[in-house]
Structure 1
Amino acid sequence: MSDWQPGLVALDIDGTLLKWVEGAGTTHEEIAPAVYDAVHRALDAGTHVVLASGRSPHGMTRIADLLDLHAGSNGQGARDRLWVVASNGAVVFRYPPMEVVHEETFDAGPAVQAILEHHPNALVAVEERGVGYRVNRHFPDGELTGEMTITDVEEIVAGPVSRVIIRDPNATADDFVALAEKLGLHGINYVVGWTAWLDLAPVGVNKASGLERVAEQLGLGAEHALAIGDGRNDIEMLQWVRRGVAMGQAIEEVRAAAHAVTETVYDDGVAVELDRWFGGGRG
């Protein structure tokens, strides 16, 4: 790979660009200077930088702003509008301004009801674009962005949705992994987060499918792409690209799926990896 340089860099947000708040299900919304500088060296080299997250679209634009992805490294000289992969690949949008160019939806009702039979006290949320989320009860502070509107579960999943979040603060990630395997969840994709957090999406939809759609629009393919992430929802993306890199604090399942492992998010692992390809004086 010594003569290779990525034409597209896909970056997860939470746990990759942003550091986790210890003991909480949220991250500090600030970009480390080393990471900011490394991303801008990639941009200055003409590489496309794409944010790819489980977050809903309105939770991603602020991160694009913090990184100044739509401006030159000196804050001037506008770049092309960004491509962003949101909701674990179910939504692809341009920014700024926000323009949804593709969205996958599905009927989540049966799967949600099956899960609630085993976890009757679970929290359920569906994005209400541009506002926040419709939820059956409030999620812990910091876990969702925007306003939370209390709504009956039946109404939340009454129509087609692009993504459903199910959260049980009294359960563990292992509980949800076992439940997903037990139920089979036919007809949908699912991914379990670092805690008892379950994302449901249409079958065949994940960060890799969203990134592939973006790459096609840019005239690029998997062979041109580098991706960095830390969660189970990054696995397909790390496997699809030519070089998939797991963050140092990622669980073994994610590390095993990657081609390489960088430093942890607390040690600016994104900067360490990008500096391999875009200078910066790191090894």
Structure 2
Amino acid sequence: MSEQSIIFFDIDGTLLDHNKEIPASTKKAIFDLRERGHEVAIATGRAPFMFEDIRKELEIDTYVSYNGQYVVLRGEVIYTNPLNPDALKTLTERAIEKENPIVYMDADDMHSNVPEEHEYITTSIKTLQVGKFPSFDPAYYQNREIYQCLLFCLEGAEQQYEADFKDFDFIRWHPMSVDVLPAGGSKANGISKITDKLGFPKERQYAFGDGLNDVEMLKQIYNSVAMGNGEEEAKAAARHVTKNVDEDGILHGLQMVGLLD
């Protein structure tokens, strides 16, 4: 394995361009990496059912989903980290008081605690272009493992939740929504479950990302690359910064770090 590396790619704004499409240069680069013997993986905040089509298109069966809470290595689940159920119940009660909808997400599906289409939910989830919206089931979080929630509130409103719910981390991914994760859970932690199992030294670990939920990953991974279209915090955390995703940013970044010619 001395020359083999593992490369983790975020999805939105990294593998997918602003039209939610995989640039041709990116797809070719992924297959070129694999032909050279490298391990290619995904590290995303999305649920597994939200990027099955991407995995099939790119022939990837190793991934970190839910920002590190559900980890799959070559088709096998090797790590899960669900939300604390008691704390989630209390969070739900608080969110109802504040009229902030919640979407509960497990490995297979997602359901909201509001019966009608809510502006915040429809507006934010539409940006993912996954062709799926949560149905109504306010009790979905009960008696099952929930790996991530979407809490719908405007920017700044999450600060009180952060102060009151130490079991959770709140990471904004949209002006109308934040991810709710187990405290300390991150893509970086999920990635370590894979790299430790496969035995990759840090010098042979690479990661590409663009968002706030990529910051820990970009700090931890030795060869980290932020997209040119990324958040400033992501760029500051990364060792390298490549071009924008729609300017062949993945290919350029892989050439920059010497994985492709």
| TM-score using structure 2 length | 0.84
Q: Is the 8 A contact 1:212 1:221 kept in 2?
A: no
Q: Is the 8 A contact 1:9 1:50 kept in 2?
A: yes
Q: Is the 8 A contact 1:222 1:240 kept in 2?
A: no
Q: Is the 8 A contact 1:31 1:67 kept in 2?
A: no
2:68 aligned residue (80, 89, 109)? 89
Return the alpha-carbon distance in structure 2 between the equivalents of residues 111 and 202 of structure 1: 13
What is the aligned partner in structure 2 of residue 34 from structure 1? 25
> Aligned pair in 2 of structure 1 residues 203, 266: CA closer, same or farther (>3 Å)?
same
1:210 aligned residue (190, 195, 220)? 190
1:49 aligned residue (26, 40, 50)? 40
What is the aligned partner in structure 2 of residue 148 from structure 1? 134
Deviation, 1:180, is 4.8
Return the alpha-carbon distance in structure 1 between the equivalents of residues 78 and 192 of structure 2: 14
Deviations 1:120-146, CA, capped at 9 Å, x for gaps: 1x331122433x311124431634554
What is the aligned partner in structure 1 of residue 51 from structure 2? 60
What is the aligned partner in structure 1 of residue 79 from structure 2? 102
Unaligned runs of 5+ in 2: none
Counterpart residue type for residue 33 of structure 1: A
Deviations 1:212-245, CA, capped at 9 Å, x for gaps: 0011121114332111101111011101110211
Return the alpha-carbon distance in structure 2 between the equivalents of residues 19 and 6 of structure 1: 27
Counterpart residue type for residue 239 of structure 1: K
> Aligned pair in 2 of structure 1 residues 147, 191: CA closer, same or farther (>3 Å)?
closer
What is the aligned partner in structure 1 of residue 181 from structure 2? 201
The count of corresponding residues between Structure 1 and Structure 2 is 246
Return the alpha-carbon distance in structure 2 between the equivalents of residues 115 and 147 of structure 1: 20
Moved over 6 A (4+): none
| TM-score using structure 1 length | 0.78
Deviations 1:83-125, CA, capped at 9 Å, x for gaps: 2101110001245xx543321112222234334544x1x3311
> Aligned pair in 2 of structure 1 residues 221, 58: CA closer, same or farther (>3 Å)?
farther
Return the alpha-carbon distance in structure 1 between the equivalents of residues 136 and 236 of structure 2: 39
Return the alpha-carbon distance in structure 1 between the equivalents of residues 106 and 183 of structure 2: 21
Q: Is the 8 A contact 2:158 2:170 kept in 1?
A: no
Counterpart residue type for residue 102 of structure 2: V
What is the aligned partner in structure 1 of residue 222 from structure 2? 242
Return the alpha-carbon distance in structure 2 between the equivalents of residues 147 and 194 of structure 1: 16
Deviations 1:149-195, CA, capped at 9 Å, x for gaps: 2012xx13334421111124xx24xx2454455x2530122211142
What is the aligned partner in structure 1 of residue 166 from structure 2? 186
> Aligned pair in 2 of structure 1 residues 179, 221: CA closer, same or farther (>3 Å)?
farther
Counterpart residue type for residue 113 of structure 1: E
> Aligned pair in 2 of structure 1 residues 60, 45: CA closer, same or farther (>3 Å)?
same
Q: Is the 8 A contact 2:29 2:251 kept in 1?
A: yes
2:110 aligned residue (105, 114, 133)? 133
Counterpart residue type for residue 278 of structure 1: L
What is the aligned partner in structure 2 of residue 25 from structure 1? none
Which secondary structure does the structure 1 equivalent of 2:46 belong to? Answer: coil
Return the alpha-carbon distance in structure 2 between the equivalents of residues 222 and 145 of structure 1: 37
Q: Is the 8 A contact 1:262 1:272 kept in 2?
A: yes
Q: Is the 8 A contact 2:209 2:225 kept in 1?
A: yes
> Aligned pair in 2 of structure 1 residues 115, 231: CA closer, same or farther (>3 Å)?
farther
What is the aligned partner in structure 2 of residue 76 from structure 1? none
Return the alpha-carbon distance in structure 2 between the equivalents of residues 7 and 234 of structure 1: 20
1:167 aligned residue (131, 149, 152)? 152
> Aligned pair in 2 of structure 1 residues 167, 268: CA closer, same or farther (>3 Å)?
farther
Q: Percent identity?
A: 24
The answer to whether structure 1 residue 123 and structure 2 residue 104 are counterparts is no
Unaligned runs of 5+ in 1: 22-27, 70-81
Counterpart residue type for residue 165 of structure 1: L
Counterpart residue type for residue 58 of structure 1: F
